[in-house]
Chain A
Amino acid sequence: MVEEIGSAGYEKTLPRRRAKRLDNAKSTFRLFIKNRTALIGMIITIAYFVIAVIDYIDPRWLGVENLSTALLFVPGHLANSELPTPPNFSGSWWYYFGTTYSRIPILPVMLGALKYDLTYTVIIVFIGMSVGVIIGSMAGFYGGILDEVVMRITDIFFSLPFFVFALAIVYVLGFSFQNVVIALIIVWWPTYARLTRGLALETKSLKYIEAAKASGASGVKTLFSHIIPNVLSPVYVQISLDLGSVIQIFAGIFFLIGALGSSSFPLEIGYLLSAGLPYLSIGIWWPVIVPALFLLLFTVSVNLMGDGLRDVLDPKLRR
């Protein structure tokens, strides 16, 4: 009987609690948009993702039918009639940024290339985050030997130069897109594990966890419905900052191993940049600089957004 009354009371308060949570989200959002630079960062970030989605739906809307034709060339051995032409402001706006190899306008090629970076960066960050959050919160919540082992493992990962290490993993697994993603997940989850472990330790000692335990919630239930949801807001901040770091590392790896010219690599922004390098010494700079600046705009925007989010969601960490 008692239980029924309890659960009925719980049901009754649910809509109110949802409304409160929505209120919280609203006020958080209001605080966030007060920060102009963070808002601009968010708008630009969203714009990048919108372009990526458009490009996935139909690349012709961006002006190029088949992106891979832009890389059908032997680096360093282009005929004069195929050399990139410089930015030209008199004609169509497609040509404002100049052309790349085989004289295809660089803008659509680059936007098409960016979509791969965006997609795989999101995949890496989210899988790394999920693995790290689950392992880290379990370590913090259960403690004991599990905690010791997990923390020693993350210690070791933190003392590795992760870029070189990721390259070595890619070498051992074989050069392919999926393997780069796997390698980056392997080096990235410890960040989240360590972050959530600390937060879980802090949360564990709070009254409502004691209450949950006292009311008979199992360990797993406490972990998934009380600990993890309450450690997520610093994790969101970390995600938004990591989008900027991971895209750099992801593009950096392809910038390096793009020299292999494997046909299994799609045209990706780091690869596009490295393909332009041989032309720098003869004064053709735009096939390199234009994608570089667009990548920079994304990483700066993501960082601005992350800083703004941190100020709103996690005032304790404010830097």
Chain B
Amino acid sequence: MELRYFIIRRLLLLIPTLIGLTVIVFVLMWSLPHAFLASAFVNPKAPNRAQQLQDAYAQLGLNQGIVLGYLHYLVNTFTGHWGYMTLSNPIHYDGPVLSGISLFFPNTIQLVIFAAILSILISIPLGTYIGSRPNSAADHIGRIFSLSFYAIPVFVLGVILQVLFGKGVIGGNPLGLFPISGTFSTSAVNLLNPPSWLVSGAGGIVLSEPTHLIIFDSLIHGDFPLAANALMHVVLPVITLTLSLLAGILRFLRSSMVDASNSEYIKTARAKGVPEKTVIKLHMRRNALIPTVTVLGLLFAFLLGGVVLVEDIFGYPGIGLLALSAILSGSIYGVLGTTFLFGIILVVANLFVDVVYSILDPRIRY
């Protein structure tokens, strides 16, 4: 089967997964009192509240039974009516859920992509190196490293990194270089006369235009000191996520390298005089990557859980912190919206993993 047919078939397989995801989020919603669902759906400070509540009942299909309610939920979800949320802690926000999410979503994607790219870039060469030398000193060090970072809870790792490398946590620590909270220091911006592309959002959160990613926006507008400052702020969160994902990949890659090295085709390749480098890169690594890619989806699910914890520890305004704020502020549509969005991120990541899988191992396409 050609790759594009495989991709089309894989996209069709998304439909049951998406139905499952929406059903689960819907069931969570529907199990709550309906009066509460209606009153939280619209802006509580709107003038004609009674009329709005009636409209909310109609729009959510609250009086029409669970099946029609689900269909209403689907329509609302895919037409962007995600409800209303009022958050007070730790993120302040008051407005529609979807526009709130769109403000914070870029920050999370930035973290996840940085962490994913870094951990893949480091783990594949490292895993190849230690996996092709089982029981050497490098292998033992690598195994201790990957086991410790695989076993360490993400929030524990984040806090330890804050203490070791955070600015001002331990007095006189020469390693304390990195700020431990936020996306940039207020001292790096002239707050009395802020540049026009820094917009003060609801509740005092400063957002940058046009991408909401302060690193890229300050580069676009030529403010290099601010870009450097913002970059320093993402170092610790990214390292925290990278280390935990890296350890997982390394652990699986190393063991599948060892498995692959015991197989017949490696002996054949060596016997017919293929150079050792080629054996390792083309024969061993390519086959060892296949089982590693299958666990990548699962590791990614762990990473998304880690995102919530890391954003909380580092006070980093992304959708993880938004989800936490929704939970702490008791905003149902904030909780449902962020849960659904995290589900979508994982679905897309799994799609990507499967496509990579089918490129590595064409047999899987049949």
Chain A interface residues toward B at CB < 8 A: 152-153, 155-156, 158-165, 167-172, 244, 247-249, 251-252, 255-257, 259-260, 270, 273, 277, 280-281, 283, 285, 288-289, 292-293, 295-296, 299-300, 302-304, 307, 318-319
Task: Please indicate the chain A residues that have their CB under 8 angstroms from the CB of B347 in the complex.
Answer: 159
**Those of B41-85 within 8 Å (CB) of chain A:** none
A256 contacts which of B304, B312, B345 (Cβ < 8 Å)? B312
What's the Cα separation between A164 and B344 when bound, in Å? 12
13 further contact pairs, Cβ within 8 A, besides A252-B153, A270-B155: A156-B21, A159-B17, A159-B347, A161-B343, A163-B308, A164-B338, A249-B305, A251-B153, A252-B305, A280-B180, A281-B181, A289-B163, A292-B159
22 intermolecular pairs with C-beta atoms under 8 Å apart: A156-B21, A158-B297, A159-B350, A160-B21, A160-B343, A161-B305, A161-B342, A163-B302, A163-B304, A163-B308, A164-B343, A168-B335, A169-B28, A244-B151, A256-B312, A283-B169, A292-B156, A292-B159, A296-B148, A299-B153, A303-B150, A318-B255
B100 at the binding interface (Cβ < 8 Å)? no
Closest to A247 in B: B153
Contact (Cβ within 8 A) B21 A299? no
What's the Cα separation between A296 and B157 when bound, in Å? 9
* Count of chain A to chain B residue pairs whose CB atoms are closer than 8 Å in the complex: 160
Known contacts A281-B168, A285-B163: does B20 contact A161 (CB below 8 Å)? Answer: no
A161 contacts which of B155, B169, B313, B345 (Cβ < 8 Å)? B345
- Top 8 A-B residue pairs of the complex, sorted by shortest distance between their CB atoms: A163-B305, A156-B20, A319-B255, A161-B304, A248-B153, A299-B151, A292-B156, A168-B339
What's the Cα separation between A314 and B304 when bound, in Å? 30
Count how many chain B residues have C-beta atoms less than 8 Å from C-beta atoms of the other chain. 63
B336 at the binding interface (Cβ < 8 Å)? yes
Contact (Cβ within 8 A) A252 B301? no
Task: Please indicate the chain B residues that have their CB under 8 angstroms from the CB of A288 in the complex.
Answer: 159, 163
Interface string of B296-314 (1 = CB under 8 A from A): 0110011011101100110
Task: Please indicate the chain B residues that have their CB under 8 angstroms from the CB of A292 in the complex.
Answer: 153, 156, 159-160
Chain B proximity of A101: nearest CB distance (Å): 17
Chain B proximity of A242: nearest CB distance (Å): 12
Task: Please indicate the chain B residues that have their CB under 8 angstroms from the CB of A260 in the complex.
Answer: 328
Chain B interface residues toward A at CB < 8 A: 16-17, 20-21, 24-25, 28, 31-32, 89, 147-148, 150-156, 159-160, 162-163, 166, 168-171, 180-181, 251-252, 255-256, 259, 297-298, 301-302, 304-306, 308-309, 312-313, 320, 323-324, 327-328, 330, 332, 335-336, 338-339, 342-343, 345-347, 350
Q: Which of B25, B148, B156, B170 has the most CB of A within 10 A?
A: B156
What's the Cα separation between A319 and B255 when bound, in Å? 5
Known contacts A164-B304, A319-B252: does B151 contact A273 (CB below 8 Å)? Answer: no
Known contacts A158-B298, A256-B308, A319-B252: does B28 contact A172 (CB below 8 Å)? Answer: yes
Contact (Cβ within 8 A) B156 A295? yes
Task: Please indicate the chain A residues that have their CB under 8 angstroms from the CB of B256 in the complex.
Answer: 319
What's the Cα separation between A262 and B342 when bound, in Å? 27
Contact (Cβ within 8 A) A164 B305? yes
Chain B proximity of A275: nearest CB distance (Å): 12
What's the Cα separation between A273 and B156 when bound, in Å? 9
Chain B proximity of A162: nearest CB distance (Å): 6
Chain B proximity of A113: nearest CB distance (Å): 14
Contact (Cβ within 8 A) A296 B153? yes
Known contacts A159-B346, A168-B28: does B155 contact A252 (CB below 8 Å)? Answer: yes
Task: Please indicate the chain A residues that have their CB under 8 angstroms from the CB of B312 in the complex.
Answer: 255-256
Chain B proximity of A269: nearest CB distance (Å): 10
